[in-house]
Amino acid sequence: MPVTDLLERNHKLYGDEVALVELNPMMEETKKISWKEYDLVEASRHRPYRREITWEVFDEKANRVANMLISRGVKKGDRIAILMFNCLEWLPIYFGILKTGAIAVPFNFRFDAEEIKYCANLAEIHILFFGPEFVERIGQIVDTFDKGRLLFYVGDGCPTYAESYRELVADCPAKAPLIRIEEEDDAAIYFSSGTTGFPKAILHNHESLSQAARMEMIHHETGRDDVFLCIPPLYHTGAKFHWMGSLSAGSKAVLLKGATPEVILDAVSKEKCTIVWLLVPWAQDILNKLDSGELKKEDYNLEQWRLMHIGAQPVPPSLIKHWKDYFPDHKYDTNYGLSESTGPGCVHLGMENTHKVGAIGVPGYRWQCKIVDENGQVVNQGEVGELAVKGPGVMTCYYNDPEATAACLKDGWLYTGDMAMQDEDGFYFLVDRKKDVIISGGENIYPVQIENFLAGLDKVSDVAVIGFPDERLGEITGAIVEVKPGMTCTEDEINQFCMALPRYKRPKKIIFAKVLRNATGKIEKPALRKLYGVEKLVEKQIEE
């Protein structure tokens, strides 16, 4: 069924039950946005940063968004982008777009102005919903947008170049529009990166989204009484499709703004969360504060917390072992996936397989996996090759990029670009990434972008960026910098130059040395990794 049917079902069956809670511990009461006028749900009096909506309000808000969009000429197949931080408005807007038959296009809120412009053009978007945090960035490029492209502002103080979302939906009908949606209809575009570091637009249909919802509920046995704590941004396929397990089960979820150990444990305690998805840094931060005594388990009500799972980066087995010291009754799972495979879960460890931590796991619900050599032939068990996956969550294509699509989609199989091996028990282990994308704290970092930036420093002759293992973040960026002959350059100069980059893209390790290139001029990154002792993650995991 189309994923929108799940929302309508929950409205009918559980309409007066809470669907979503937004927690923002950093929000001052004077900055709180009341939903009383247009959402029928009043913010909690004793917690000024807390808002909630029921399944009825969720669905009705999505319907209002859909009817507003249709009144503005939106039709099936149009592309509509969302550039917002996590909030109660995010998912109703997303589902409102889907209810029109249009394609929802979430934007990474880390995008700078030029990246927003690039992705808007790549996906050929017709409309952009954006929040107050992005007024300046949109303002920098608004004059370059096509005149027919509409900008809808979600927040207080609408800029002159946009229209107010609240005013647009205030009087729109709350009943579902009469748009027939099939599973094979296009539903969403997410962004990834190719080997050049430029984003690709990944197109999924409604079957992909419904598969993700059903799979998540089955993998984690999500039930009506569960409460899912969602911390990562909703533009991220991991966050979105882990939450869809709650959609499938008809259970409550909490959108938390903030990821400090105190904030996470407080949310779990007060909202009675049972399922929490963490990134490695957040789990490590919690353990560090428990170890130091800055946090004490007994100060929180955590008895109901039954599952902690991790995704988006390799997980050190030592971390999970340590986690079990504090939370021996917790079930654990890890999930592997790509935006091209509707996010996490095409391979997953399984809650019953904690003894295999370090592996990415076994094929997920309705998925198949194989490891192949350069000729596409399946390798022997225990040998390294490229991981390929097949299932109902595989993307339709890279939007408007048939060449890139053909390179990774072959006979229904998605070639992931990740090198892996399968052990004697049938569990898959990642060995190395065929592509050079660095994953730091769950975020993709594209070396080419940083290399091109550093090449702009006049003292730099050549530069290569590779990932170095890091206990907390999974990987950190390291830059091998070759200085021009006759010049000297210091680490401080490099760091100062990189202040113009977003913080997460700045190299954390600087090495002054010759950059190794092959006869065709390509950087020999495998040789650089070997030279600087960057261990293959699977070897470290197996040793632990």
CB atoms near residue 405 (< 10 Å): 18
The angle formed by the CA atoms of residues 12, 74 and 68, to the nearest 5 degrees, is 55
The amino acid present at 181, given as its one-letter code, is: I
CB atoms near residue 486 (< 10 Å): 5
The amino acid present at 95, given as its one-letter code, is: F
pLDDT recorded at residue 42: 39
Topology of 3-258 in CATH?
A: Rossmann fold (3.40.50)
Structure tokens at 114: 């030029």
pLDDT recorded at residue 40: 33
Residue 477 buriedness (CB in 10 A; 0-12 / 13-18 / 19+):
buried
Measured torsion, CA atoms of residues 292, 295, 297, 301, in degrees rounded to the nearest 10: -170
Q: Greatest CA span in the chain, whole angstroms?
A: 74
Structure tokens at 310: 């991790």
| Domain ranges (residues) in the chain | 3-258, 306-433, 438-543
Measured torsion, CA atoms of residues 479, 483, 487, 489, in degrees rounded to the nearest 10: 10
C-alpha–C-alpha distance, residues 6 and 250, integer Å: 8
Structure tokens at 442: 């769950």
pLDDT recorded at residue 443: 78
Would you say how long the chain is, in residues? 544
pLDDT recorded at residue 340: 94
pLDDT recorded at residue 30: 36
CB atoms near residue 90 (< 10 Å): 23
C-alpha–C-alpha distance, residues 418 and 410, integer Å: 16
Listing DSSP states for 423-455 in one string gives -TTS-EEEEEESS--EEETTEEE-HHHHHHHHT
C-alpha–C-alpha distance, residues 193 and 164, integer Å: 32
Listing DSSP states for 71-102 in one string gives HTT--TT-EEEEE--S-TTHHHHHHHHHHTT-
Pairing of the two strands 438-440 and 428-433: unpaired
- The string over 183-210, giving b where at least 16 C-beta atoms fall within 10 Å of a residue's C-beta and e elsewhere, is bebbbbbbbbbbeebebbbbbbbbbbbb
Which stretches of 382-503 are assigned E, i.e. beta strand?
Answer: 385-390, 397-398, 409-410, 413-422, 428-433, 438-440, 443-445, 460-470, 474-483
Are 109 and 233 in contact, with CB atoms under 8 Å apart?
Answer: yes
Are 274 and 434 in contact, with CB atoms under 8 Å apart?
Answer: no
Structural class in CATH, domain 306-433: mainly beta
pLDDT recorded at residue 540: 44
Are 69 and 127 in contact, with CB atoms under 8 Å apart?
Answer: yes
Mean pLDDT of successive 10-residue stretches along the chain, which has 544 residues? 95 98 71 37 48 96 98 96 96 98 94 91 96 95 88 94 95 95 96 65 96 96 97 89 96 94 96 93 88 94 96 76 94 92 91 90 96 93 93 96 95 91 92 72 78 86 88 89 90 94 91 77 76 58 38
Q: Please state the pTM of the whole predicted model.
A: 0.82
| CATH of the domain spanning 438-543, picked from 3.40.1280.10, 3.90.1640.30, 1.20.58.1910, 3.30.300.30 | 3.30.300.30
